Amino acid sequence: MSSMPGPSCAKILLQVVALAWTLLLTPAAGEQGAQAAKARKNITSLLTRIRHTSSQSYTRVTMELSTEVPYEIHFLKEDASRQLPPRLYVDLLQTRLRMDPTQPIVVQDRLLRQVRVGQFAPGVVRVVLDLRSVSSHRAFLLPDPSRLVVDINAGANGRETAALEKPRGLPPPPKPKVPAPGLRKIVLDPGHGGKDPGAIGVGGVAEKDIVLSLAKKLAKKLKQEMGVKVVLTRQDDTFIPLEDRTAIANAEEADLFVSLHVNASPNANLRGMETYYLDNTNDEASILLAARENGTSRRNISDLQFILSDLTQNSKLEDSVTLAHRIHSSLASHMGQRYGDVKDLGVKKALFYVLVGARMPSVLLEMFFITNKHEGRALAQKAYQDAIVEGLFQGIKKYQESLVVVKNL
């Protein structure tokens, strides 16, 4: 499965650009220099870096750009005569290379051998992904900073091909193992970190420190009392790009992804807790919150609604909604019992980049307002943090119990 992002007008634009490029490849005599100069003039973006995250069944390649550009992505079959493996190539239009093209980026995981990059033509950077076998893929652009993310999966296409190539007359392959009900591994994502402090609250306390502390406490409790494996997207005060956080969860083949945040507002009276799952929304406050957590503008969120809509449909939406309600109600009731009046702002939806592409139920929690005098002070206190952790733990436990019940029906 491949998907090209963007509304149909963007696709038309892409085709126009591609057509312009085809014309560029075959210029009339005497026009070559002028057209090449024009292509150079149209360059709007620089490709500065390519990163990758690998696992047994999943590889994510992230191309860092200075601004968003149109792109094309194509699959090429293995070419034995030229000793070329199956490959994906991505053409970044209006782009110039600002990284070393001489050495391939060696990956050598189960899906991807290496990444090659070159300035294919004056306005086109070509990135070639040399694959191990036929794989499915999908790609999407994220802004601020601009990057094109390509996910390569040992997905259905690869398996289908293998099945088709299987000689006839042999017994059918064994059925895939059905995983045991319940939770095996959870990825906790303490928001922000390093150069990104998140929200700053009363007394100068930073969101990144509060959520790291909460994540560590919760990880310990989940391991000890539920016997599940827990992976943190960051162990310390490190900056991790948003898309890498989901990639970690996918690479770990985690059963849950829980992103931990605390809320903030210029209105110091605002207080309470809210829980989010990934989906489009028209709610202005949720859009503004997502813009803040994504480190992007209000306008970019609107632009992304369409682009991300097919990705959100692919996510485990129903399970994410269930997870959000389980955790939210447990946290609200536990904090209510311990501290009395808790403002319940509800379970909501918004486009948080950190949840895009997650292959497991995923939620983002906004646990109280760091900018509120009472909640901000409390968030820095051990007893209050322990109470939050207990509420989160109970919610995850309830979710697990509901899974076991459903699977046993």
Instruction: Give whichever of 71 and 384 is closer to Zn ion, judged by the CB atom.
Output: 384
The nearest distance, CB 261 to Zn ion, in angstroms, is 3
Instruction: Give whichever of 124 and 370 is closer to Zn ion, judged by the CB atom.
Output: 370
Residues in CB range of 335: below 8 A, 6 or more apart: 273, 342, 387, 388, 391
**Quick one: tokens of 235?**
């162990």
Residue corresponding to tokens 């490849």: 25
The nearest distance, CB 396 to Zn ion, in angstroms, is 20
Answer yes or no whether residue 361 interacts with Zn ion by CB under 5 A: no
Strands laid side by side in the 147-153 sheet: 95-97, 45-54, 58-65, 147-153, 136-142
User: Contacts with Zn ion in 275-314 (CB under 5 A)?
Assistant: 293
Characterize the bridge pairing of strands 124-131 and 112-121.
Answer: antiparallel
**C-alpha span between 130 and 126 (Å, rounded):** 13
The nearest distance, CB 364 to Zn ion, in angstroms, is 8
The nearest distance, CB 154 to Zn ion, in angstroms, is 33
The nearest distance, CB 366 to Zn ion, in angstroms, is 7
| Range in contact with Zn ion (rule: CB under 5 A) among 41-49, 217-225, 243-251, 258-266 | 258-266
The nearest distance, CB 288 to Zn ion, in angstroms, is 13
Answer yes or no whether residue 198 interacts with Zn ion by CB under 5 A: yes
Backbone dihedral region for residue 193 (phi beyond 0: left; psi -120 to 50: alpha; all else: beta) = left
**C-alpha span between 390 and 336 (Å, rounded):** 12
Instruction: Give whichever of 191 and 193 is closer to Zn ion, judged by the CB atom.
Output: 191
**Among 5, 191, 272, 395, which residue sits at the site for Zn ion (rule: CB under 5 A)?**
191
The nearest distance, CB 70 to Zn ion, in angstroms, is 31
Q: HSE on the CB side for 63, CA within 13 Å?
A: 32
Residue nearest to Zn ion (CB): 261
Instruction: Give whichever of 191 and 201 is closer to Zn ion, judged by the CB atom.
Output: 191
Instruction: Give whichever of 73 and 210 is closer to Zn ion, judged by the CB atom.
Output: 210
Answer yes or no whether residue 132 interacts with Zn ion by CB under 5 A: no
Could you write out the three-class secondary structure of 260-300?
A: EEEECCCCCCCCCEEEEEECCCCCHHHHHHHHHHHCCCHHH
The nearest distance, CB 352 to Zn ion, in angstroms, is 9
Instruction: Give whichever of 293 and 375 is closer to Zn ion, judged by the CB atom.
Output: 293
The nearest distance, CB 216 to Zn ion, in angstroms, is 17
Q: What 3-state DSSP class applies to 72?
A: strand
Number of shown-chain residues binding Zn ion (CB under 5 A): 4
Instruction: Give whichever of 46 and 199 is closer to Zn ion, judged by the CB atom.
Output: 199
Q: Measured in Å, how far apart are the chain's first and last C-alpha atoms?
A: 32
Instruction: Give whichever of 198 and 395 is closer to Zn ion, judged by the CB atom.
Output: 198
| Range in contact with Zn ion (rule: CB under 5 A) among 117-125, 195-203, 269-277, 370-378 | 195-203
112-141 b/e with 16+ CB inside 10 Å = b? bbbbbbeebebbbbbbbbbbbebbbbbbbb
Residue corresponding to tokens 């390519």: 50
**Quick one: tokens of 386?**
């322990």
340 contacts 269 by C-beta, under 8 angstroms: no
Answer yes or no whether residue 234 interacts with Zn ion by CB under 5 A: no
The nearest distance, CB 74 to Zn ion, in angstroms, is 37
Instruction: Give whichever of 186 and 210 is closer to Zn ion, judged by the CB atom.
Output: 210
Answer yes or no whether residue 272 interacts with Zn ion by CB under 5 A: no
**Among 52, 60, 261, 334, which residue sits at the site for Zn ion (rule: CB under 5 A)?**
261
Instruction: Give whichever of 304 and 354 is closer to Zn ion, judged by the CB atom.
Output: 354
Contacts made by residues 285-289, CB under 8 angstroms, sequence distance 24+: 286/348, 286/349, 286/350, 287/350, 287/351, 289/263, 289/350, 289/366
255 contacts 211 by C-beta, under 8 angstroms: no
Binding region for Zn ion (CB under 5 A): 191, 198, 261, 293
